[in-house]
Chains A and B, each alone.
Chain A
Amino acid sequence: MGRLLTYSDKNTWIHRLCGVTKMVFFILWSIVGMITYDTRILLFMFVSSLLLFAMSKTEYHQVATVLKVILFFLLINVVAIFFFSPYQGTKIYGTRSDLLHLAGYYTFTKEQLFYELNIILKYFTVIPVALMFIVTTNPSEFAASLSKLGVKYSIGYSIAIALRYIPDIQKNFQEIKTAQEARGIDMSKNVKLIPRIKNIIAIIFPLIFSSLERIDTISNAMELRGFGKHKKRTWYSERAFQLSDYITIAFILLFSILAMVITFYDGSRFYNPFIILSFIL
């Protein structure tokens, strides 16, 4: 039973960073990744996010399922762009070099290929960082960080406790699945997709009910131990800002500014190899 997308306690410098640092990094990194179409910057970000991912010692199985889902949506996204606007690339880069005529309105151009490659690259600059943020950040420490930033602690705590219960819900799901299988409700791959989905829905109902039961107990337990007593609270797992946090934040700020400057230097978000090429030729 793999635990998906939950915090795992490993001792790398990324794990030791404050939650706030990682969140600031993640947000700025994503914003840059979303704004820029500068292929050079995207390539740099892609390579560095893979490096960071490796440094965090995150294993593939920790994120495999989520990754597959994201890749599935990426595929839909890429196909849909071509389907609805096959000449977006030509429009952006101002040239048109046909590669392959498909049918009727649809021709595959170098510009479109380049444009969509950029989109895929954008996904891949953000995905590793996002996944890593989740599996390397201790939920409680993250809640503590949020409250340091001025977010109400009840909100931060709700997020933390939701993250904290992901493995419990997964375990519960497995147990319920087992019970239903015993009654002959097959959820294995032997069953066709539609009845299989129907059978899986049969699990959701008991899952909700046992979770509600659980919520009642936990909220009583929290109240009995004084949660919500004061406007503020202290945090056992709070981490003080360290040198590495300052360095990381300085780096991401600097990088964001630099990336924006490079991106908008020529007045367009798009890095255009076609004009440069035609200029040279």
Chain B
Amino acid sequence: MKKEIIQFTDFTFKYRTQKRPTLKNINLTIYEGEKVLIVGPSGSGKSTLVHCINGLIPNSYEGEIEGSVLIGDKNPAKAGIFGISQVVGTVMQDTDSQFIGLTVGEDIAFAMENDCVPQDNMKDTVKKCASLVGVDSLLEHAPSALSGGQKQRVAIAGIMTNDADILLFDEPLANLDPATGKYAIELIDEIHHTTNKTIVIIEHRLEDVLHRPVDRIVVIGDGTILADTTPDELLSLSTLKENGIREPLYIAAIKYAGAIIKPNDHPSDIHSINLQYNKDKVKSWYQSIEKTEPAMDTEELLSIQNLTFSYEEEEPVLSDISFSIQKGEMISIVGRNGAGKTTLSKLICGFIRPKAGTITYKGVDMAGESIAQRAEKIGLVMQNPNQMISKPMIFDEVALGLRTRGYEESAVKEKVEHALTVCGLYPFRNWPISALSFGQKKRVTIASILVLEPEILILDEPTAGQDFKHYTEIMKFLEGLNKELGITIIMITHDMHLMLEYTNHTIVISAGTLLANDRPAKILTTPKIVEEANLKVTSLYYLAEACQITDTTGFAESFIQYDRKVNQ
């Protein structure tokens, strides 16, 4: 009989600052050595549950608790954060900002330092844990100089040092490119097999986590547990879709085809799913979809010719990049971390100057134009809205760009109100920005750029860290700007759903060169490009293959087209 290691019984939690409980009547048991995935939309109580497991609740975040929770054999309220940290090691969502040490070695040792472990033992343990996750050659490096995947490995090594029985991963995929995310999931699986620790993963990107098997999936919605079952069972049900969690694309496709998925068909793995009975249904569904080619405008807006850039004497960051953008397109720029995507956007906006090559806007070379002049044609929206917002009130924030340009106050008012209306923020115009949610803040930053009436909008990771519902909200909004105002939208992204679903043109940058410039579905069904650019082949490709559909690109495109019609 397996031993319980996490046990919530009739557990209810209400934050002190809130009126209603965030978690309601939770009954959840996790056994020793299990690997459990917890999914749920933002605001479902997922993060609160994480805090209940690692002891931040009730020790750092105060509130009222009813019912009981046991972590290991301990009650978090009595054991305190430190007591619980002996049992639970947490890898936080943003690995970047959880590094404390100056070097990798020091960061891994942090928990041991606090435990008064003598220096010699500490150095041995650091070496052991670092080699376990393959970062033993990086001990002297600064954490900030590592790649996203390496950072995560360091964070994992750091929680392995005190041999906690439970490893808790809070959205481990949030900041990783698709291929690195895949390796992270493989690494977690490896640790699970070699150490037999209990693993709890919180993540809304279900399909990516299922790259390696999990024992159970717990679905949380609105503070309650909606499902607690095996992946095969869950994928056969409609719980996910009903609660705003994205099903794996191949599952969605099979369901659209009108086929029934049974748990014993093993639907949780695209490579071993039994399609015997459903193959023909998928095939005929695909054939029944009428393909509509989107009508494309062919007025060239931005043209980039032989663009090369390098910092000082170093190796070029970008070399000989050429492509052009048509008016009204929605474009995605993808590639692994550090490939040169951000550099490209900085060159377009004029923050940095190219070593060679030209950027022309409507046929005119922009080389002589200042940043401010370019900003009226091309607006840049950064990933984190907190990095852009510099005024306490919404109206003033949006008005900032106009006021620095010396517009009359009456003209400012008219333009700002128009931009706020477009962004659905007009009712909030006199609110302080601090009262807004993350997604609303994002809209404020977009409004503050739109007010300058650019024809091109460049967005850096517009949906990072957003769940499916908010993701859809932001993307529908951007799509509206694109269709109704004719604004050309360029998005730098790691999100392959976004690229597939919302863009009609993808530029792949790899190691500073242009690797591909094509339709997104074509790129994601070409394994060679996918591998080189650290992307991931879409599961639709494997489904098409398994159903003997030869035009895998066509299948992916038909799916997206159908999916969008259904969801409209």
Q: Is B218's CB within 8 Å of the partner chain A? A: no
* Residues of B close to A186: CB separation below 8 A: 370-372, 404
Chain A 17-48 per-residue mask, 1 if CB under 8 angstroms from chain B, else 0: 00000000000000000000000000000000
**Nearest CB to that of B84 among chain A residues?**
A224
Give the shortest distance, in Å, between B214 (CB) and chain A (any CB): 23
**Nearest CB to that of A184 among chain B residues?**
B372
B105 touches A183 (CB 8 A): no
Give the shortest distance, in Å, between A56 (CB) and chain B (any CB): 18
Give the shortest distance, in Å, between A242 (CB) and chain B (any CB): 15
Residue of B106, B119, B372, B379 near A140 (CB, 8 A) is B106
**CA A223 – CA B349 in complex, angstroms?**
41
**Nearest CB to that of A199 among chain B residues?**
B404
**Interface residue stretch chosen among B96-104, B244-252, B275-283, B483-491:** B96-104
B115 touches A185 (CB 8 A): no
Residue of B97, B112, B449 near A183 (CB, 8 A) is B449
A205 touches B102 (CB 8 A): no
Q: Is B152's CB within 8 Å of the partner chain A? A: no
* Residues of B close to A176: CB separation below 8 A: 387-388
Residue of A139, A199, A210 near B386 (CB, 8 A) is A210
**CA A183 – CA B391 in complex, angstroms?**
14
**Nearest CB to that of A203 among chain B residues?**
B390
Given A205-B390, A224-B85, A225-B110, A218 contacting B100 (CB threshold 8 A): yes
B400 touches A228 (CB 8 A): no
* Residues of B close to A210: CB separation below 8 A: 384, 386-387
* Residues of A close to B449: CB separation below 8 A: 182-183
Q: Is B401's CB within 8 Å of the partner chain A? A: yes
**CA A181 – CA B376 in complex, angstroms?**
11
Chain B 307-322 per-residue mask, 1 if CB under 8 angstroms from chain A, else 0: 0000000000000000
Given A235-B119, A236-B105, A237-B106, A226 contacting B111 (CB threshold 8 A): yes
* Residues of A close to B511: CB separation below 8 A: none
Given A167-B144, A179-B380, A234 contacting B97 (CB threshold 8 A): no
A140 touches B349 (CB 8 A): no
Q: Is A213's CB within 8 Å of the partner chain B? A: yes
A226 touches B85 (CB 8 A): yes
A138 touches B376 (CB 8 A): no
Residues of chain B in range 66-105 having any CB-CB distance to chain A below 8 Å: 81-82, 85, 90, 92, 94, 97-98, 100-103, 105
Residue of B117, B119, B390, B452 near A238 (CB, 8 A) is B119
Residues of chain B in range 313-361 having any CB-CB distance to chain A below 8 Å: 346, 349, 351
**CA A167 – CA B145 in complex, angstroms?**
12
A235 touches B113 (CB 8 A): yes
Chain B 111-139 per-residue mask, 1 if CB under 8 angstroms from chain A, else 0: 11111111100110010000000000000
* Residues of A close to B391: CB separation below 8 A: 205
Q: Is B382's CB within 8 Å of the partner chain A? A: yes
B404 touches A185 (CB 8 A): yes
**CA A221 – CA B101 in complex, angstroms?**
12
Residues of chain A in range 180-207 having any CB-CB distance to chain B below 8 Å: 180-186, 190, 199, 202-203, 205-206
**CA A9 – CA B384 in complex, angstroms?**
31
**Nearest CB to that of B371 among chain A residues?**
A181
Residues of chain B having any CB pair with chain A under 8 Å: 54-56, 60, 81-82, 85, 90, 92, 94, 97-98, 100-103, 105-106, 109-119, 122-123, 126, 140, 144, 158-159, 162, 346, 349, 351, 370-372, 375-376, 379-380, 382, 384, 386-392, 400-401, 404-405, 448-449, 452
Residues of chain A having any CB pair with chain B under 8 Å: 7, 9, 138-140, 160-161, 164, 167-168, 172, 175-176, 178-186, 190, 199, 202-203, 205-206, 209-210, 213-214, 217-218, 220-230, 232-238
Supplied contacts A183-B400, A226-B114, 11 more A-B pairs, CB within 8 Å: A181-B372, A183-B449, A185-B400, A186-B370, A210-B384, A214-B97, A217-B94, A218-B98, A218-B100, A226-B82, A234-B116
